[in-house]
Structure 1
């Protein structure tokens, strides 16, 4: 009994290991401020600092942090470029972009590069520890003002996708099928079309069948109306 007693405590002990944080920003004063705030948290340990994107990649590979707080606009290598490289080299590291950039393009590129969070530096500095814990716990964080831009973009994409679905693209007909369709539109029958194009009636029938299948229609007249409406041909 006594030998097995420690086992229930093992999960709790493992959970008390501090969250290892790497801070990368080209402003030393900002780095120092973050370090001072995070160092006051018993469950967070700042394991290193960096001043540019290149250092972010090398130190992440060396220190294997749980969470990386990183700026976007940095010398030698941008935060977004560094983010993509780090996610490939150390996929377990959660990356939070902590930046002044409220550009939509930076937000989208950061998320595509694998960032788990995008926070503006206007965030209260005492909120950073909780953000670190949230991202480490698997949450994704985006500053409210940036989240609204993301929602607007997704809404716009959804509308464009719906419009594309509603606007069924005109199927591509071959040159010969277009010739047959034009003659059908002029009111010619299969025998007359065959003579006009120097082909057999069976070939004309095959072309018309293919046209109807491509256009998902049921009659020659429907095919003509559809083709005129979609500007596949003009009746003069």
Structure 2
């Protein structure tokens, strides 16, 4: 039997924690291992509970979600972090991704969408939105003139990378390149190993920094 995905909830509002708890507990493939009421407690519980994934509110007392995300990723880089917010304003979410978060969820989304997205993030298959991708590219290109560095990837791996950079999910990549999802996953695994990266969010940032991909 596959082990459930261990989740830590971090939100200073009791009703929000309760709502997330109900959504998560409705699917047996997830297990709640702890709940934090502020960012400082989230960092502490990340060490004590060793979750696979953290649902992190952005606005919290003592230590906000952005700084908590940074501290957790510095100490436990393998822990996935999803920012949870009531707003679709991507400004803070973009900052969170720069600090290591893997993605974000809106609190008013359908519960079924939550389950699908949580699983995708847990196994590194969640695509990044085009808007976030464009912001990443804009930031990197505004900081310096990006001169493309030598790319060690094969032609097929470069095609996969370009699809990932455009926010494509594995299924979309498989359809676009006429290959199986299993083949896409294998290529992504090889790409991450070659570049010594952990997930597709890091891969996107790395590719932009190296000047390997561009979004029109």
Q: TM-score, normalised by structure 1?
A: 0.55
Q: Tell me the SS of whatever aligns to 1:47.
A: strand
Specify the alignment match of 2:131 in structure 1. Answer: 149
CA contact (8 A) 1:70 1:79 kept: yes
What is the deviation of 1:79? 0.4
1:74-89 aligned at under 5 Å gives the runs 74-89=60-75
The answer to whether the aligner puts 1:121 opposite 2:103 as a matched pair is no
**What is the CA–CA distance in structure 2 between the aligned matches of 1:162 and 1:85, rounded to whole Å?**
27
1:27-66 aligned at under 5 Å gives the runs 27-66=13-52
For residues 166-221 of structure 1, give each alpha carbon's deviation from its aligned partner in whole angstroms, at most 9, with x where no partner exists: xxxxxxxxxxxxxxxxxxxxxxxxxxxxxxxxxxxxxxxxxxxxxxxxxxxxxxxx
Structure showing greater radius of gyration is: 1
Q: Tell me the SS of whatever aligns to 2:101.
A: coil
* CA shift in 2, pair 1:51/1:153, >3 Å: same
CA contact (8 A) 2:25 2:32 kept: yes
What is the deviation of 1:158? 8.1
**Aligned-residue RMSD, C-alpha:** 2.5
1:82-101 aligned at under 5 Å gives the runs 82-101=68-87
Q: TM-score, normalised by structure 2?
A: 0.60
The structure 1 residue matched to 2:10, chosen from 19, 24, 40, is 24
CA contact (8 A) 1:67 1:136 kept: yes
Report how many residues are paired. 147
**What is the CA–CA distance in structure 2 between the aligned matches of 1:74 and 1:55, rounded to whole Å?**
10
Which structure ranks higher in relative contact order (CA pairs < 8 Å, sequence separation ≥ 6)?
2
For residues 131-169 of structure 1, give each alpha carbon's deviation from its aligned partner in whole angstroms, at most 9, with x where no partner exists: 211111112455xxxx3432443564688699998xxxx
Which stretch shows the higher mean deviation, 55-64 or 111-120? 111-120
What is the deviation of 1:36? 1.4
**What is the CA–CA distance in structure 1 between the aligned matches of 2:107 and 2:30, rounded to whole Å?**
20
1:65-214 aligned at under 5 Å gives the runs 65-142=51-128, 147-154=129-136, 156=138
